[in-house]
Structure 1
């Protein structure tokens, strides 16, 4: 289990206990986190689960794969710490992860 903090663009924080093996997106959807729509259900076929990963966790979440990079082309305001939350798998190493949803998704 890992505690993940989802931060809205206005600064509102929601802490969720996520199960190892699920994606950061799945944990968000199960807990009603606003700003993560996950229209494709986690198939990496849209960009509605776009988040900004706290820079302290960039090494721990891993590298973007080519498909994710392609989908991020459809997201607004992409930054170097942009990721699709469906492509980040929860593990103990991610305990304390903070992700922020872009303003465009609210």
Structure 2
């Protein structure tokens, strides 16, 4: 299985005072995160596209993605407090999937 991880857990602090993190800002006609995910969904080899989001913005991200993209390969998970924690959250998510798949075969 091939998994992709989109690291979108930042809050955009270097952008200055914006009402939303930069991944949710509009670029042309859609939020930046949607432009990104549209590119990832074009790659058929990805079994899952894991989107790591700051915990405060998880539901917002889920709702936004559902509005623009219909692809059940996309899953939104909470990012961590640091970049390494965010990567680890995705690894743990993948591990849970693999363990449950192994349990089905036992």
- TM-score in terms of structure 1 length: 0.30
Point out the structure with max Rg over C-alpha.
Answer: 2
Larger relative contact order, structure 1 or 2 (CA cutoff 8 Å, min sep 6): 1
